[in-house]
Chains A and B, each alone.
Chain A
Amino acid sequence: MIVPLSHILGFSSALFVMGLACVLARRDLIMILIGIEIMLNAVGLALVGASAFWQKVDGQIFVIFLMAMTSAEVAISLAMVVYLRRQKATLDADAYDGMKG
């Protein structure tokens, strides 16, 4: 293996944290969703790396599942964005605070 597993894990962790930071920092719904996608892609990276390290295809299979799942989620998310946009003319996530306490 050319790249040591630790590097892959380090890189994907960094990517994951960046994605998480995006989710935490942004209020725009689209940006939050993008952050989530980044996190999930970091997962895919780590899985592929680990799969290579252990010489097992399990991880790669999981990545395929993950991609399918992600696309389903994206579809739902986008539908949701459109739906929300119709409900209230904003995509600021914090604007939706009708329920609290």
Chain B
Amino acid sequence: MTWSDLYALLPVLVLIFGSTVLLMAGAWRAAFSTMVAYGILFSLAAAATAVFHTPGSHDVAGFFLIGGYSRFFSILWPIVAALTLTISFRYGADRGFSGGEYAALILFACAGMVLLSSASSLVSLFLGLETFTLALYILIAFHKGSPLGAEAGLKYLVMGGVATGLLAFGIALIFAATGTFHISEVSILDASNGQFHAVTLFGWGMLLAGIGFKISLVPFHLWTPDVYQGAPSPVAGLLATGSKGAVFAALVFLLGNLQLSRTPLANLLWVLSAASMLIGTLCALRQNNLKRMLAYSSVVHMGYLLLALLAGGTSGHTAILFYLVAYAFVNLGAFAVVTVFSSCATEPQSYEDFKGAGYRQPLAAAALLVFVLSLAGIPPTAGFMGKFAIFYAAIETGYTGLALIGILSSLVSLYYYLRPVIIMYMSGDSNTPSFSMMASEKSVLILCLIATLILGVYPGPLFDVITGILP
């Protein structure tokens, strides 16, 4: 590892440095808000570094491919982390979070996401994944006073451990069969590598199962609603956007340069995508808990993303990247709304807690409205453009069947997305306690709101950027 390698990894180093500093500073018992503020500064610094830092295309030790693609995510994930931290001010202080650890872990997780997104080897893929998974194990159970948090932590830990095992064993099998970890070499999945063909396939199966757990595809999705519900809302937001997005970013890299539709994987992914879209949709129909609904909805959205992945090609990958950005803002925004509505002790558990919010809390409610509409793919929101891009890719590559399933699921999903809207605006009297939002919370909501709308009506620049950086 040379200095130039380190230089290329500068944004990650900033994150890790920040994380370490905060962790140590935490020992001096600095106030929660101070630590979080520093965390925000560090993550923004990382993002800024990535913006202005142009190391050029660089392969770090055969592990990380630094270039436009990784830079893109080095900007995105720190922003997500910063937003996550920004909404945590009141939430964390109310719950007695210890500042240093909280901010440090989020920065650490963020570093893992950035690493995962730039992984060019199965080893770095594994390491990146584990880095943020380990941080998330802690973050999910971070609220010590919450039994639900403990339960969620347990579930994520156990499931995550097994998934890690699968992932690692899959990688080992692939390595055994091919003798390399490098993604560009292992990706060749044709039948030509003779005797080890079977081993390769089993390895991929394990690998996909592990990844399927991380991005909660059906049938590995069962943990999702529980963990989302139990985790602190900001953390759940990070979990829903960053952790899944980073895995998808890696997947694009991993499966990007092979013609997926010609491999045996295609059929499997087809089934996974369809099942995720349909089952996720159906499960969400009767949910009364916003966080659980968002969890199931994330299952559906992963199905859409898988569809785009399956479609592949420039269109598919553009669609994925755009969708990840849009989804990050939308989902983070939605969890921010949940955070805003959380009182000292509890989080809103059912829709009833949002009753009449449209008039008591106009900004938060309007934001949630836009976010769910975006999730439902209604224009003029980012979600529509994302869905448009995905269906575009799907039709272009001939996956009309899946596109139809996607259409069907977005139609049905409208029903459950409208339910909170109905509760907020159309159910008469308010149950919502009056509270005033902190400026930090407001700013996050407004930022996500504006991002959602701008990406919905003027997505051109982002599409152009994405087209430029695709590997």
B151 contacts A9, C-beta separation under 8 Å: no
Q: Does B23 contact A (CB under 8 A)?
A: no
Residues of B within 8 A of A16 (CB): 165, 169
User: Beyond A66-B168, A83-B141, A87-B150, is A73–B134 a contact (Cβ under 8 Å)?
Assistant: yes
B148 contacts A98, C-beta separation under 8 Å: yes
Q: Does B261 contact A (CB under 8 A)?
A: no
User: Beyond A9-B173, A65-B127, is A39–B162 a contact (Cβ under 8 Å)?
Assistant: yes
User: Beyond A80-B137, A98-B148, is A93–B162 a contact (Cβ under 8 Å)?
Assistant: no
Residues of A within 8 A of B127 (CB): 65, 69
User: Beyond A69-B130, A77-B157, is A84–B164 a contact (Cβ under 8 Å)?
Assistant: no
B140 to chain A, nearest CB (A): 10
B158 contacts A99, C-beta separation under 8 Å: no
User: Beyond A76-B137, A83-B141, is A43–B154 a contact (Cβ under 8 Å)?
Assistant: no
Determine the residue in chain A with the shortest Cβ distance to B161.
A36
How far, in whole Å, are A15 and B165 apart by their CA atoms in the complex?
A: 12
Determine the residue in chain B with the shortest Cβ distance to A99.
B226
Q: Does B155 contact A (CB under 8 A)?
A: yes
B165 contacts A32, C-beta separation under 8 Å: no
How far, in whole Å, are A65 and B175 apart by their CA atoms in the complex?
A: 15
Q: Does B230 contact A (CB under 8 A)?
A: yes
Partner of B158, one of A20, A32, A53, A61: A32
29 contacts between A and B (CB under 8 A): A36-B164, A39-B169, A40-B168, A43-B168, A43-B172, A46-B173, A46-B176, A50-B176, A53-B179, A56-B180, A58-B180, A62-B175, A69-B164, A73-B164, A76-B137, A77-B161, A80-B137, A80-B141, A80-B153, A80-B157, A83-B141, A87-B147, A93-B154, A93-B158, A96-B150, A96-B151, A98-B148, A99-B225, A99-B230
Footprint of A on B, CB under 8 Å? 123, 126-127, 130, 134, 137-138, 141, 144, 147-148, 150-155, 157-158, 161-162, 164-166, 168-169, 171-173, 175-176, 179-181, 199, 225-226, 229-230, 287, 292
Footprint of B on A, CB under 8 Å? 5, 9, 12, 16, 19-20, 23, 29, 32-33, 36, 39-40, 42-43, 46-47, 49-51, 53-54, 56, 58-59, 61-62, 65-66, 69, 72-73, 76-77, 80, 83-84, 87-88, 93, 96-101
Top 3 nearest A-B pairs (CB, nearest first) are A39-B165, A54-B179, A50-B176
